[in-house]
Structure 1
Amino acid sequence: MSKLFRKKEIIVGDAQPADQRMARTLSWPHLVALGVGAIVGTGILTLIGVGADRAGPAVLISFAVAGLICACAALAYAEMSTMMPASGSAYTYSYAVLGEVFAWVIGWSLILEYSLVVSTVAVGWSGYAAPLLHDWLGYPLELARGPELGGIINLPAIFIIAVVAGLLSVGTKESATLNAVLVLVKIATLTLFVAVALPHFDATNLEPFMPFGFGKTMAPDGVERGVMAAAAIIFFAFYGFDAISTAAEETKNPERNLPIGIVGSMLACTVIYMVVAAAAVGALPFTSFADSPEPLALILRDLQQPGIATIIAAAAVIALPTVILAFLYGQSRIFLVMARDGFLPPALARISSRGTPVRITMITAALVSIIAGVLPIDEIAALANAGTLAAFAAVALCMLILRRRAPDAPRPFRTPAALLVGLIAILGCAYLFLSLPTKTQLYFLVWNGLGLLAYFGYGMHKSLAK
């Protein structure tokens, strides 16, 4: 029983073995761009429509609620990452504070989150790129769809994952620099949308403001609606800043730069989202774009701006790989730390001469390519939210426990009003989890049941923890 709760001593910096030491090449602008690149993606481009379908104009409140909970989680991440500037994010913090079995569950949840996000975004990118390839080059669409959609394999999705994995293997700094450029493209794209849509703002489009109520309720059409039902799905559009904490070992001056990257990217994205959402729901009645797969482009076409709509769609294709880069980066670093701990073959933890974990990056890319290429992911994609909610709540809990267990420990960044912030993050994540579709909650429990079987059958015996 004591094995279940054994804790890990965090090794950072030059204390790492030479063959596992990564190059410190990232500064705070790289980290902010990494966070914004992960956060601003398919979420804001598509989930405004889904959110409006669930909450009506009150989707603005849904964005605010999800943003508040994520902001509190971001503050907890900022404190924990400066106390333990090591790769692994919530998995590492849970191992050091809560114990091994909790760390395994959180690591298992993060595998779910990152794999589904990378695969979903890759398939979404393929959905934009494949028609262009078909029109220009006669590319067969059967090779751009998985078997569940009547195709053979989604090769464009596999291709973009391979390209991003290759870039990450070349070097972290090079990847982060290109990511920063593409992030600027995304911000310019959303700014263009706001500039065109905001002059058409009409307050009558906000009435009735909350047609489906606040809490999650089952509508007559069988869809769960309400402000919190929308927030539980819109939450997907906010997370991504947690990938920054996985970059701790590759960050220059992590005590200073990690909080700037985590909190800075979260604040920037919250402002961007609220402005874009206000422009969207004010420009047209929400029923016009509710549940549309391309709500921003649809709004622009309805406003007689088809050229701008095309520009935004093209910019989305160019910039979406930043989300793949950030989450593939984060997942490979979590796998790396789990390999160091004995849960995966230790040889996978070796670092290349360029200071990057090439082996684990390529294996991670192969796994998510299988998901993106052949497996159905439409209904299961919401599972990414469930895994993330578990990780966010765990980090906030770790922060509160350490405030009581080690009140005098060095904290280069101290979360203000830590008790209030921690409780908002924990209780907010719990409420959002309860607001997820019932099927998603069941899938999450099944996934973690399988994870515990894997732990007791393999992980517990392979662990290198003493």
Structure 2
Amino acid sequence: AAIIFFAFYGFDAIATAAEETKKPERDLAIGIVGSMVICTILYIAVAAAAIGAAPVASFADSPEPLAHIMRGLGQGVAAQWIAAAAVVALPTVLLAFLFGQSRIFLGMARDGLLPNRLARISNRGVPVVVTVFTAVVVAFLAGIMRLDELASLANAGTLMAFMAVGISLIVLRIREPNRERKFKAPLWWLVGGIAIVGCITFFFSLRGTTQLYFLGWNLLGLVIYLVWSSRNSRLAKGEETAA
């Protein structure tokens, strides 16, 4: 069940584009909520059509289930078009992920969590260095890990990120109840609580090897933070000075 989160990758990447939007307080809310609603409707419609056209067992293990279903219905040409559309769509997904992750690394580099050289901006306003760095990291991981293991590891990271958002929602509402907010989540205690419990439950439903990989990846990140990031973070230094 936890693997279903793979279908909801990318929505959080919209928030990383806040710096490049004219009215982020309005545009981000519309982009995130609107895209989630549209995609959820499309996912449900496609799933319902697939289940109605063929038994689940007949295409559950297929690497191309929709094309497989169309071939079973005698629609070979339609199956080819669906397969071609999937191939064309994959690069757009990769570009969206690279865009979001490179902006996260850019923010970390500006703060000092990563080397400042990664925060360099080209004459056209493009973070070329950090974009290339992100592509190299992604290519390296894709080259040393199996695709299913990498997808499960990314899924675990997404679950923990969503859980962190739920925790942050509750903590900020308690600590800063009077803070001016452009957008407020309704029933914050319920939304945050469901997010935390749900993500933890889904995380422990993943394979044991995925959990071990995730633990190792986080330990590596912790080492990097203690050795480099904690000593160079501008935000951390500001907090220490204020204290």
Q: TM-score, normalised by structure 1?
A: 0.49
In structure 1, C-alpha distance between the alignment counterparts of 2:217 and 2:133, rounded to whole Å: 21
SS of the counterpart of 1:333? Answer: helix
Shift of 1:437: 1.3
Deviation sequence 1:33-77 (CA, Å, 0-9, x none): xxxxxxxxxxxxxxxxxxxxxxxxxxxxxxxxxxxxxxxxxxxxx
In structure 1, C-alpha distance between the alignment counterparts of 2:114 and 2:185, rounded to whole Å: 34
Deviation sequence 1:222-276 (CA, Å, 0-9, x none): xxxxxxxxx2012111121000011111111001110000111111111111111
In structure 2, C-alpha distance between the alignment counterparts of 1:370 and 1:239, rounded to whole Å: 20
Q: Determine whether 1:357 maps to 2:123.
A: no
Q: Which residue of structure 2 aligns with residue 321 of structure 1?
A: 91
Q: Percent identity among equivalent residues?
A: 62
Q: Which residue of structure 1 aligns with residue 177 of structure 2?
A: 407
Q: Determine whether 1:254 maps to 2:16.
A: no
Shift of 1:366: 2.3
In structure 2, C-alpha distance between the alignment counterparts of 1:367 and 1:444, rounded to whole Å: 16
Deviation sequence 1:336-387 (CA, Å, 0-9, x none): 1111111222122122222221111122122223333x32323422000111
In structure 2, C-alpha distance between the alignment counterparts of 1:426 and 1:455, rounded to whole Å: 25
Q: Determine whether 1:237 maps to 2:7.
A: yes
In structure 2, C-alpha distance between the alignment counterparts of 1:409 and 1:238, rounded to whole Å: 30
Q: Which residue of structure 1 aligns with residue 149 of structure 2?
A: 380
For 1:284, give the aligned amino acid: A
In structure 2, C-alpha distance between the alignment counterparts of 1:255 and 1:262, rounded to whole Å: 11
Q: Which residue of structure 1 aligns with residue 240 of structure 2?
A: none
Shift of 1:302: 0.2
Q: Which residue of structure 1 aligns with residue 161 of structure 2?
A: 391
For 1:281, give the aligned amino acid: I
In structure 2, C-alpha distance between the alignment counterparts of 1:446 and 1:371, rounded to whole Å: 14
Number of residues of Structure 1 aligned to a counterpart in Structure 2: 235
Highest RCO, 1 vs 2 (Cα 8 Å, sep ≥ 6): 1
Q: Determine whether 1:331 maps to 2:101.
A: yes
Shift of 1:313: 0.7
In structure 2, C-alpha distance between the alignment counterparts of 1:370 and 1:434, rounded to whole Å: 27
Deviation sequence 1:379-437 (CA, Å, 0-9, x none): 42200011111111111211111111111111111111111111111111111101111
Shift of 1:453: 1.9
In structure 2, C-alpha distance between the alignment counterparts of 1:456 and 1:371, rounded to whole Å: 23
Gaps of 5+ in 2: 238-243
CA RMSD of aligned residues (A): 1.3
Q: Which residue of structure 2 aligns with residue 421 of structure 1?
A: 191
Q: Which residue of structure 2 aligns with residue 443 of structure 1?
A: 213
Q: Which residue of structure 2 aligns with residue 292 of structure 1?
A: 62
Deviation sequence 1:174-196 (CA, Å, 0-9, x none): xxxxxxxxxxxxxxxxxxxxxxx
Q: Determine whether 1:348 maps to 2:125.
A: no
In structure 2, C-alpha distance between the alignment counterparts of 1:440 and 1:335, rounded to whole Å: 24
Q: Which residue of structure 1 aligns with residue 52 of structure 2?
A: 282
SS of the counterpart of 1:320? Answer: helix
For 1:233, give the aligned amino acid: I
SS of the counterpart of 1:344? Answer: coil
In structure 2, C-alpha distance between the alignment counterparts of 1:371 and 1:338, rounded to whole Å: 20
Q: Which residue of structure 2 aligns with residue 209 of structure 1?
A: none
